């Protein structure tokens, strides 16, 4: 597989050489692109010698004798199409801003726009630059666009300051590259049925009983599964979101509509992810006309069907069924109880009382609960979290012994 390393102009540019070596140890064919500024820190010849390939140093220059080369506009399209991943090390505040806005004024920024391969950025810069709202907003934008961020570490920085901004360890960057490459196509052949959003139960023609679910987590799951090669059926209650491209979208409003949409497609699904927040009750009688104000009002409600339990009851062999639980109190106990009661393979437990995560947020922190495991997933963008959840969902298919060995830090058998 071919990996392109984009080197930017930062003091950590020399560490890109170490990364190139580390990636080669995993039998990856590494190519290097350098920005103008990067060449102030490291000679292109270093990377040319390490990789055995010409280093692309600019859009228009003629070949020089230092190992750098010219790149024609055709060449950047070729590089964009043939690479399996683009990893930018160190990613400066400048390149993050260019990527976020879509400026293409040099080879690396053009390559970023032109490639459909996964992109990983490992930022490194002065602590104030890293913490600046502009940089943080750009990083957030890139994360929501599916760029994998390998966050910088805290420590003593080359500028003499101490704080976050030091390039992540080479191993962490290598791990991100390998995981991104590994993700490609690991869901080929699977049909993933995802439910998303919050269902609504009408009280009258203008009002409904609903909930605060934005659908973002479910849409992130659908997009991540689709990117990894699955066929995705997204059964969605109303949201303000644009459905990921190439998913089969089924729009529903009520719990009963969602139930029918899910059950009628269950045959086709190999993995069911029930991230929707489903109304548990609906009005017994729906007013045909707008309810008028006239003193206190009592609503007579009846329970809706529990779709997750029905899915579990009707599942076919080999199907994985994953539920979600949004809890406000005693989250772990409620999550465990729900796992048992619903009979799902796993519950993604969401403590929505925590600030900054959960409903309508772009970020989330969850616990992945199975019969015998409880995996904490720290706060991160929902799209990134979706990939971690899919990793764990797929791991449910692996024999338990292998999981136990992985937990104990023992080597996992080849092929896993
Ligand atoms: N769920 C479902 N059908 C319902 C209610 C919930 O399929 N009528 C699914 C949700 O999509 C979610 C899981 O069950 O995956 C847990 O939902 P939650 O509302 O937390 O569970 P409830 O059974 O409604 O329990 P409670 O309201 O008591 O917390």
Using alpha carbons only, what angle is made at residue 219 by residues 249 and 252, rounded to the nearest 5 degrees?
40
Helix 255-263 × helix 307-314 angle, to 10°: 10
- DSSP characters for 70-129? ---HHHHHHHHHH-SEEEEEEE-HHHHHHHHHT---SHHHHHHHH--S-EEEEE---HHH
pLDDT in tens, the chain (416 residues): 899 999 999 999 999 999 999 999 999 999 999 999 999 999 999 999 999 999 999 887 555 555 666 556 666 678 888 899 999 999 999 999 999 999 999 999 999 999 989 999 999 999 999 999 999 999 999 988 889 999 999 888 777 878 889 999 999 999 999 988 887 789 999 999 999 999 999 999 999 999 999 999 999 999 999 988 999 999 999 999 999 888 999 999 999 999 999 999 999 999 999 999 999 999 999 899 999 999 999 999 999 999 999 999 999 999 999 999 999 999 999 999 999 999 999 999 999 888 777 677 888 999 999 999 999 998 888 888 998 999 999 999 976 545 544 555 443 333 22
Residue owning the nearest CA to atom 25 of ligand 1: 338
Atom number of ligand 1 nearest to Cα 304: 8
Cβ of residue 311 lying under 6 Å from some atom of ligand 1? no
Distance CA 28, CA 21 (A): 10
Give the E-state strand segments of 178-316 in sequence order.
191-196, 201-202, 208-209, 231-236, 248-251, 271-274, 281-283, 301-303
Best mutation site among 323, 336, 341, 346 for ligand 1, i.e. most ligand atoms within 8 A of its Cβ?
A: 323
Q: Is 325 in the pocket of ligand 1 (CB under 6 A)?
A: yes
Q: Which of 104, 159, 263, 352 is catalytic?
A: 159
Q: Whose CA is nearest to atom 20 of ligand 1?
A: 325
> What is the atom index within ligand 1 of the atom nearest the CA of 325?
20
Kind of pairing between the strands at 281-283 and 363-369: unpaired
Token couple for 14: 């020399």
Tally of CB atoms within 10 A around 371: 10
The finding on whether 308 has its CB within 6 A of some atom of ligand 1 is yes
Q: Is the CB of 307 under 6 A from ligand 1?
A: yes
Distance 209 CA to ligand 1 centre (A): 15
Half-sphere exposure of 59 (CA within 13 A, CB side): 10
Atom 8 of ligand 1, residue of closest alpha carbon: 306
Pairing of strands 148-149, 363-369: unpaired
373 with 348: CB under 8 angstroms? no
For residue 204, which phi and psi values (nearest 5 degrees)? -155, -175
Kindly state the tokens that stand for 289: 């006309």
pLDDT for the residue 401: 46
Task: Supply the pTM of this predicted model.
Answer: 0.73
* pLDDT at site 130: 95
Report the pLDDT value the prediction gives residue 413, as an integer from 0 to 100: 33
- From the CA of 79, how far away is ligand 1's center (Å)? 47
Residue 176, phi then psi, degrees to nearest 5: -65, -40
Among 259, 250, 262, 254, CA closest to 306:
259
Q: Could you confirm whether 247 is annotated as catalytic?
A: no
Beta carbon of 255 within 6 Å of any ligand 1 atom: yes
Dump the DSSP string for 361-415. -SEEEEEEE-SS-EEEEEEEEHHHHHHHHHHHHHHTTS-HHHHHHHHTTPPPPTT
Domains in the chain: ranges and CATH = 2-181 (3.40.50.1950), 191-404 (3.40.50.10300)
304 Cβ below 6 A of ligand 1: yes
> Which residue among 198, 260, 266, 306 is best mutated to probe the pocket of ligand 1, counting the most ligand atoms within 8 A of its Cβ?
306
**Ligand 1 lined by 344 (C-beta under 6 Å):** no
């Amino acid at each position: 597989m071919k990996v392109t390393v984009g080197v930017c102009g930062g003091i950590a540019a020399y560490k890109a050489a170490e990364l190139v070596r580390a990636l080669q140890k995993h039998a990856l064919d590494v190519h290097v692109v350098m920005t103008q500024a990067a060449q102030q820190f490291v000679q292109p010849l270093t990377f040319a010698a390490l990789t055995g390939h010409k280093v692309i140093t600019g859009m228009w220059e003629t070949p020089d004798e230092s190992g750098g080369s010219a790149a024609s506009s055709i060449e950047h399209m070729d590089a964009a199409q043939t690479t399996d991943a683009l990893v930018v090390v160190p990613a400066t505040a400048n390149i993050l801003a260019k990527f976020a806005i879509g400026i293409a004024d040099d080879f690396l920024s053009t390559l970023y726009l032109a490639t459909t391969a996964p992109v990983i950025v490992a930022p490194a810069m002065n602590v104030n630059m890293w913490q600046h709202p502009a940089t943080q907003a750009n990083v957030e934008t890139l994360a929501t666009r599916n760029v994998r961020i390998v966050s910088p570490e805290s420590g003593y920085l080359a500028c003499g300051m101490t704080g976050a901004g030091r390039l992540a360890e080479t191993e962490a960057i290598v791990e991100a590259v390998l995981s991104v490459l590994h993700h490609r196509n690991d869901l080929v052949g699977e049909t993933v049925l995802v439910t998303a959003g919050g269902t609504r139960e009408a009280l009258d023609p203008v009002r409904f009983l609903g909930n605060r679910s934005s659908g973002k987590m479910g849409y992130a799951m659908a997009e991540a599964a689709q990117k990894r090669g699955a066929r995705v059926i997204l059964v969605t209650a109303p949201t303000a979101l644009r459905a990921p491209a190439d998913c089969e979208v089924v729009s529903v409003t009520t719990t009963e509509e969602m139930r029918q949409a899910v059950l009628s497609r269950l045959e086709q699904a190999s993995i069911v992810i029930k991230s929707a927040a489903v109304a548990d009750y609906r009005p017994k009688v729906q007013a045909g006309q707008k309810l008028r104000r006239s003193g206190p009002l009592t609503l007579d409600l009846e329970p809706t069907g529990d779709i997750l339990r029905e899915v579990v009851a009707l599942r076919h062999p080999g199907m994985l069924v994953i539920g979600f639980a949004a809890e406000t109190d005693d989250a772990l106990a409620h999550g465990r109880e729900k796992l048992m009661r619903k009979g799902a393979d796993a519950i993604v437990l969401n403590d929505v009382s925590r600030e900054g995560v959960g409903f309508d947020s772009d970020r989330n922190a969850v616990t992945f609960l199975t019969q015998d495991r409880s995996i904490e997933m720290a706060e991160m963008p929902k799209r990134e979290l979706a990939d971690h959840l899919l990793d764990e969902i797929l791991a449910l298919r692996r024999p338990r012994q292998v999981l136990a060995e992985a937990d104990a830090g023992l080597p996992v058998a080849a092929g896993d």
